[in-house]
Amino acid sequence: MRYFPVIVVGGGLAGLRAAIEVNMHNIQVCVLSRVHPVRSHSLAAQGGINGALGNHARGVYDSPEKHAFDTVKGSDYLGDQDAIIRMCNDAPLRIYEMEHWGCPFSRTSEGKIAQRPFGGAGFPRTAYAEDKTGHVLLHTLYEQIVKFEHSSERADIVVLDEMLVTSLVVDDGRCVGVVALNLKSGQFEAFQSDAVIFATGGSGRIYSNSTNALISTALGIYIPFREGAPLKDMEFIQFHPTTLIGTNILMTEGCRGEGGFLLNNKGERFLANYEDSKNAMEVAPRDIVARNIQREIDAGRGFENSYVHLDIRHLGEKRINERLPGIRELCIKFANIDPVVDPIPVQPGQHYTMGGIDTDINGASEIKGLYAAGECACVSVHGANRLGGNSLLETIVYGAIAGRSCAEYVSSLSKTKIGTEIIEARLRDEERRAKEIVSKDGDYIICDVRDKLAQVMAQKVGLFRSESQLKSALEDIQEAREKFAKVKFNSKSKSLSYNYEFINYLETEANICISEVVVRGAIERRESRGSHFRIDYPKRDDAQFLKHTIARYSKGEISLSYKPVKIVKWEPKERKY
């Protein structure tokens, strides 16, 4: 067994920023990541990061308060306003911090960090690095990790990649460590710690039509959920308006922020025909644009009844190469089209998980010593709908906040380490369970159960929802659970070294449970708010549902309760753009 004062689970932006912050307090920290950190899904973020820098030459003064209001409004007033205000106030500090650490942001002619318009924003406040913003942010943070990985100045940062955490260990309400599978050796390893920060990203792969990486499954939130950490607002799933037809690869909102058009099969900029998008057009919030794209397709005004066109040809080759080179490369490689001369075929696709591990404004969960940050957490700064550019911001702002809060907690503890026996017992349990899993000989193939479930979620729990569809999806989830109990293990090798069938088993188990959480929350929320649109309840209902959904897990059963939204400055009003 190995001991580290703090363990961070996940090597993306939130996890690395949390680890750096813990390390700044001269506390040793270990990052456990299932992939090398620079292969984390944060790498795929394209468009930008929001902050009230005021660098755009539009002549309108921007401020953290305006940023906060736009975020509250974009959340359809479900976001906790104290957390939102804190994030927006910290935004310039964190962006400039990344700049000083060497992040190569795109620049204005004056040399300032360039900013462009994004949906739902009253000011062009999205800083960017071409269309590879997540990529450069992640590499910048990893450089800081390497700098202090073997530091003589302060406690070191230890990074262990190809480590899949399979269990969180809780002793008498206190987090005391984790058990992880070493993917290379195929052996389980126990890690004792005073505190754990989960930063495992979103759960997008519970849907078949997702922009998320294959590693973005529900496992990251399922592990703490089954140990007693509640989840919040899981019914709110964001569908990005523009994903590439056939693959659902993200076509950044930056395409529209730079001036791209959305066109139907008549060549019309159809957003002008909808009351909720006719003013903001292509830079209306994501939930609104996605629904209106789907309405065009459903009305027969799409192409091949499945997509519309995203047209950036009028921007010209020079600007596309300067601002959107990654988009051009993706289109050429994956769709055999060149957006300089061809419109891009796009459709809405699952993109972001607004809900997650319920945390307070300091990133702390209900379990003592367990923290969460980034997409796996729900503080909640996004509420019912996330504005583009706020996810990258949340990772570094709340990564730092969770890291600082965790460091203060660890510093306050006595030096006596606890939980050794329970961690060793959990290690033996994981080893025993793994042997049972790889010996399964049932009637169903694991990936078939997983894929069918993901299709159900896409078809019945998507952009438009109804009670009949949601209840049907719940029945399908129960069927998936019954089949999952009778799966067979095809691999002849019982070794767990890079055993992806075993990993698929763990992920499918998690996906089934978390899909049920999403559906149950969606059934009970009989209103339309942000990304959650009920065709049988098309209006927002503040009297009944201005509240967070809280899901708990106990002995295999899921229960729901609610808690109020924190309103400190702006009272809810009708959301118009």
In a domain, 415, yes or no: yes
Residue 340 counted as domain residue: yes
The CATH number covering residue 217 comes to 3.50.50.60
CATH classification of the domain holding 288: 3.90.700.10
- Structure confidence by residue, pLDDT tens digits, 440-450: 999 999 999 99
- Tens digits of residue pLDDT in 303-347: 999 999 999 999 999 999 999 999 999 999 999 999 999 999 999
- Measured distance CA(331)–CA(252) in Å, rounded: 12
User: Is 17 labeled as catalytic in the residue annotation?
Assistant: no
- The CATH number of the domain holding residue 461 is 1.20.58.100
Q: Which residues form the domain of 339?
A: 241-349
Q: Kindly state whether residues 218 and 367 are assigned to the same domain.
A: yes
Report the C-alpha gap between 413 and 379 in whole angstroms.
Answer: 25
Q: Does residue 250 lie within any of the structural domains?
A: yes
Q: Which candidate in 41, 116, 205, 240 is catalytic?
A: 240
> CA 77: distance to chain centroid?
20
Same domain for 57 and 19, yes or no, is yes
For residues 95 and 232, state if they share a domain.
yes
How many domains, the chain? Answer: 3
- Co-location of 318 and 384 in the same domain: no
Alpha-carbon distance of 445 to 426, in angstroms, equals: 28
Please tell me whether residues 245 and 230 are part of one structural domain.
no
Q: What is the pLDDT of residue 431?
A: 97
Taking the C-alpha atoms of residue 249 and residue 46, their distance in angstroms, rounded to an integer, is: 11
The model's pLDDT over 32-77, given as tens digits with 9 standing for 90+, comes to 999 999 999 999 999 899 999 988 766 568 999 999 999 999 999 9
Could you tell me if residue 1 is inside a domain? no
Annotated active-site residue 256? The verdict is yes
Q: What is the pLDDT of residues 239-249, one digit of tens each?
A: 999 999 999 99
* Single residue among 421, 452, 479 that ends a domain in this structure: 421
Contacts of 302 (CB under 8 A, 6+ apart): 264, 265, 293, 296, 308
Same domain, 83 and 220: yes
Calpha distance 312→134 (Å, rounded): 22
Residues 508 and 389 in one domain: no
If asked whether residues 516 and 532 sit together in one domain, one would say: yes
Q: Same domain, yes or no, for 338 and 434? A: no
Could you give the C-alpha distances from 189 to 186, 422, 423, 505, in angstroms and in order?
10, 14, 10, 19
Give percent of the chain with pLDDT exceeding 70: 98
Instruction: Give the other-Cβ count within 10 Å of 191's Cβ.
Output: 24
Same domain? 373 vs 224: yes
Assess if residue 152 is contained within a domain: no
- Asked if residue 260 is part of any domain, the answer here is yes
175 within a domain of the structure (yes/no)? no
How far is it, in rounded angstroms, from Cα 469 to Cα 491? 36
- Entry field: residues in the chain: 577
The reply to whether 564 falls in a domain is no
